[in-house]
Amino acid sequence: MGERDEEDRPFETTQGRDGGAGGGALTDLTRLHVHEMARLLRTGEVSSRALAEAHLAAAGRQNHALNAWLVIDRKSALAQADAADRRLAESRRPGGSGVAALHPLCGVPVGLKDLVSVKGGQATAGSKILKGYVAPFDSTVTARLRQAGAVILGKTNMDEFAMGSSTEHSAYGPTANPWDLTRVPGGSSGGSAAAVAAFHVPVSIGTDTGGSIRQPASLCGIVGLKPTYGRVSRYGIVAFASSLDQIGPLARDARDAAILLHAVSGRDDRDATSAPVPVPDELLDLPASDDEAASYLKGRRLALPREYFVDGMEPGVAARVREAVAAMEAAGAIIEEVSLPHTDYGLATYYIIAPAEASSNLARYDGVVYGFADRSSGDYIADYLCTRGTGFGPEVKRRIMLGTYALSAGYYDAYYLKAQKVRTLIKADFDAVWAAGFDAICAPTSPTVAFPMGARVEDPVAMYLSDACTLPVNMAGLPGISIPAGLSDGLPVGLQLVGAPWRELGMLRLARAYEAITARATWRDLEPAELHLTDDPTTPSPLERQARRTQGAPATGSGDQP
């Protein structure tokens, strides 16, 4: 341990100073972490423009085979990168504000899930009904990223209105998993996860209503963090289920996730549910040294809930999670088995509450204000029905019907109200763990590794079960993180850590400690197994694969582009 500390290592690049040609060993800028980029940008060893160019090139070359991006905005990205370079140069100048005052995200490329509003850009939420909609304002997350100096490369693919666990419910075609192009990246933030796993960006923004950051992070072998409900403003984010939705980072390590979380967190007057809880600056200083990071585990009390090793969990997943827990125990953590007895009700109550809130949130898509409209009939009511009939996909319609039913007179008490009461019991299970003095809960993120495209898309309940281990965390409003914990059958397995409310920092320190104690594991430095195929222009697109599977015939064209 200790020798991976990049601060000790001189950086060598073919780009050299300011991204120009230079000597040194071959180093691909897309392999850098945010904390490494920040250091090189500050010293001037690399420019934001060089970083943007390298990442745009990879995304541009490989998106055909992955469909991780719905938009790659080269022109805007390069303008933002040049602005970041000016800001960096200005603060480096003698008498300038000093580079230490800059956020580590200054000059760093990021991706945004396509439900984050960026003024003047699209926000389709993966739906046809928002095709053509142009956001008239920046979301608070966007504004804070701009303030930090981040460089937004584009918008990533997602399940329609964030409903799904595979990104196959996108109206713009599915996304492929770079570990195996015939498999899903998870969802609903599958585009954001695949883009980070494929080195198109070091970090991206996703949203998590029942698992949509953690589950795709798990399936793509990266880090994904769902903050405490109220940590990040939801202003300007297309709503799915307002009492559950949270925005959070996807990254390739805990330090980078912490940096992105720091940039977007904090109270916002435009979102009444955002909490006036201070954002710890220590998020920017997770230990670089593995020895220091690992020492955090000593004496930590970690709870292992027996209900999370659910029926249908793949043995390889359970094995990796138990090995991870054993490794933390060997490093000084105290592991105790606990019971969260209402876990089993998580799925049933989630699928009352989330659709109920969604049915209300989605009522606004009436063909008048937003995006797509079918005005062919000339009659207001008929146009409304046609717009919603063709604008929404089947999963969204299923949720609207479920939710409307659960909220209707006579059923409200039996379903919605009852579900809210069970939600309180689920939260009380977690509260008891914190009251007993545990630092975090350890569990699997997903019961399975990445599954084949098409395997669950016709079976909604099988798809819903993908989130059995993540949904209860949203029901209780808690922070949760998924971190890579090795492979099963050559595919990534995620370890989930859940913390008490507002304890993201402690959760990230634990995640960083786990990274430190597994720094030399053979799986650590593996790149996604089929990433190299994405450079081949003859590799079929996910939409072509889907068409071949469903029709047995090759598809033509690249599908419906927003």
Q: Is 188 a catalytic residue?
A: yes
Residue 114 is a binding residue for ligand GLN (CB under 6 A): no
For residue 127, what are the contacts with CB-CB under 8 A and spacing of at least 6? 160, 161, 171, 391, 392, 393, 396
Query: Whole-angstrom Cα distance, residue 211 to residue 22?
Result: 44
**Which among 147-155, 163-171, 376-384, 524-532 is the span making contact with ligand GLN, rule CB under 6 A?**
163-171
Task: Specify the residue, 158 or 302, whose C-beta has the smaller distance to ligand GLN.
Answer: 158
Question: Are residues 111 and 69 in contact, defined by beta-carbon separation less than 8 angstroms?
Answer: yes
Q: Of the two residues 283 and 463, which places its CB atom closer to ligand GLN in the complex?
A: 463
Q: Between residues 41 and 115, which has the closer beta carbon with respect to ligand GLN?
A: 115
Of the candidate residues 111, 164, 477, 494, the single one contacting ligand GLN (CB under 6 A): 164
Q: Which stretch in 210-218, 258-266, 303-311, 383-391 sits in contact with ligand GLN by CB under 6 A?
A: 210-218
If one asks whether residue 193 binds ligand GLN (CB under 6 A), the answer comes out as no
Residue 222 binds ligand GLN (CB under 6 A): no
Bridge partners of 208?
246
Strands 109-113 and 491-498: unpaired
**217 lines the binding site for ligand GLN (CB under 6 A):** no
Rounded Cα distance, 357 and 239, in Å: 9
Cα–Cα distance, 161 to 192 (Å, whole number): 14
Catalytic residue among 188, 192, 359, 446: 188
**Catalytic residue (choose from 165, 212, 265, 359):** 212
Nearer CB in complex with ligand GLN: 212/265: 212
Cβ at position 464, least distance to ligand GLN in Å = 7
* CA distance linking residue 58 with residue 23, whole number of Å: 22
C-beta closer to ligand GLN: residue 139 or 539: 139
In the complex with ligand GLN, which residue's Cβ is closer, 143 or 244?
244
What is the smallest separation between the CB atom of 210 and ligand GLN, expressed in angstroms?
3
Return all residues near 86 (Cβ < 8 A) that are at least 6 apart.
none
d(CA 223, CA 81): 25
Count the site residues for ligand GLN by CB under 6 A.
Answer: 13
Candidate segments 70-78, 135-143, 157-165, 407-415, binder of ligand GLN by CB under 6 A: 157-165
Residue 303: which of 280, 336, 271, 272 has the closest Cα? Answer: 336
Residue 296 binds ligand GLN (CB under 6 A) = no
**156 lies in the site for ligand GLN, by CB under 6 A:** no
CA angle 445, 447, 451 (to 5 degrees): 105
CB of 447 to ligand GLN, least distance (A): 13
Residue 17: helix, strand or coil by DSSP?
A: helix
In contact, 189 and 70? CB cutoff 8 Å: no
* Among positions 314, 467, 504, 544, the unique one binding ligand GLN when judged by CB under 6 A: 467
Residue 212 known to be catalytic = yes
User: What stretches of 213-280 adopt beta strand conformation (E)?
Assistant: 223-226, 246-251
Residue 113 known to be catalytic: yes
Our finding on whether 188 is near ligand GLN (CB under 6 A) is yes
Regarding 196 and contact with ligand GLN (CB under 6 A), the answer is no
Name which of residues 230 to 249 contact ligand GLN (CB under 6 A): 240
Query: Is the distance from CB of 216 to CB of 361 less than 8 angstroms?
Result: no
Binding span for ligand GLN by CB under 6 A among 205-213, 334-342, 506-514, 544-552 = 205-213
Q: In the complex, what is the shortest distance from the CB of residue 158 to ligand GLN, in angstroms, rounded to a whole number?
A: 9
Residue 357 within binding range of ligand GLN, rule CB under 6 A: no
- The answer to whether 112 contacts ligand GLN (rule: CB under 6 A) is no
Find the binder of ligand GLN among 198, 321, 354, 440 (CB under 6 A): 354
Tell me if 211 contacts ligand GLN by CB under 6 A. yes
Distance of CA 266 to the CA centre of its chain: 18
Amino acid at 393: G
Contact 531, 198 (CB under 8 A): yes
Asked if residue 209 binds ligand GLN (CB under 6 A), the reply is yes
Pairing mode, if any, of strands 334-338 and 301-305? parallel
Number of C-beta neighbours around residue 363 at 10 A: 11
Interface with ligand GLN includes 139 (CB under 6 A)?
no
Residue (of 292, 259, 267) closest to 505 by Cα position: 259
Name the segment binding ligand GLN (CB under 6 A); options: 161-169, 194-202, 422-430, 549-557: 161-169
Q: Can you tell me which residue has the tokens 């889907």?
A: 546
Residue 163 interacts with ligand GLN (CB under 6 A)? yes
Binding of residue 361 to ligand GLN (CB under 6 A) = no
At 144, list the tokens.
């804070």
Q: Which stretch binds ligand GLN (CB under 6 A): 45-53, 203-211, 285-293, 335-343?
A: 203-211
Beta-strand relationship, 301-305 and 440-444: parallel
Cβ atoms within 10 A of the Cβ of 482, count? 36
Rounded to an integer, what distance in angstroms lies between the CA atom of residue 155 and that of residue 124? 9
Among positions 49-108, residues that touch ligand GLN (CB under 6 A) are none
DSSP character at residue 131:
T
Q: Which stretches does DSSP call E strand in 307-386?
A: 334-338
Specify the length of the chain in residues. Answer: 562
Q: CB-wise, 212 or 546, nearer to ligand GLN? A: 212
Specify which residues 224 forms β-bridges with: 250, 482
Least spacing, CB of residue 196 vs ligand GLN, in Å? 17
The Cα 187–Cα 561 span in angstroms is: 19
The answer to whether 541 contacts ligand GLN (rule: CB under 6 A) is no
Q: How far is the CB of 220 from ligand GLN (least distance, A)?
A: 15
Closer CB to ligand GLN, 208 or 307, in the complex: 208
Q: Which of 208, 290, 314, 383 binds ligand GLN (CB under 6 A)?
A: 208
Residues that bind ligand GLN (CB under 6 A): 162-165, 188, 208-212, 240, 354, 467
Which residues are designated catalytic?
A: 113, 188, 212
